[in-house]
Amino acid sequence: MSSLQTPLHRVKGLGASHSGTGHFWRERITAAALVPLSLWFLYAVLGLAGTNVVTALRFLAMPWNTLLMAAFVVTSLYHAALGLQVVIDDYVHTAGSKIMLFLLVRFCVIAAGSTCLFALLRIAAF
């Protein structure tokens, strides 16, 4: 045996990429989930266009609508973070800038997500 690694350690290490198909798979699952969620989002936004703030508050404060909007926001942001990571991976080739951009994307996604959820919480309490 030329390697001191156990077979289990070799499998867990997943080679030079340090990750397996997890990223790819999560991108597809969030994509599939976003198909119905986006259709609901279009229905909601079109239905509220040109109305007033009370209508919007009443609609989004309904439990199912709050839940669906939260699911749309969280799933979109997760999918966006996965997608932006691929873009950065493809075009940024220095380790330092790459890590900084990954962190920036993740900070922005968490900031945007928590802001949306906070707003939804206030709307649901309306």
Partner 1 sequence: MADNPQTPGNPAAGRPLSPHLTIYRWPATMMTSITHRITGVGLAVGILILAWWLIAISTGPDGWNAFHAVMNTPPGLLVLFGIAWALGYHLLSGLRHLAWDLGYGFDKTVAERNSILVFGLSFLIAAGIFVLVWTGHAGYLQ
Residues that bind partner 1 (CB under 8 A): 28, 31-32, 34-35, 38, 42, 44, 46-53, 55-57, 59-60, 69, 73, 76-77, 80, 83-84, 87, 112, 115-116, 118-120, 122-123
Q: How far is CA 119 from the centre of its chain?
A: 18
CB 34 within 8 A of CB 76: yes
Closest distance to partner 1 from the beta carbon of 40 (Å): 12
DSSP letter, residue 62:
S
Residue 76, CA distances (Å) to 22, 85, 92, 110 in order: 17, 14, 23, 12
The one-letter amino acid code at 98 reads: K
> Which residue number, 13 or 89, has a Cβ lying nearer to partner 1?
89
> Which residue number, 11 or 86, has a Cβ lying nearer to partner 1?
86
Closest distance to partner 1 from the beta carbon of 48 (Å): 5
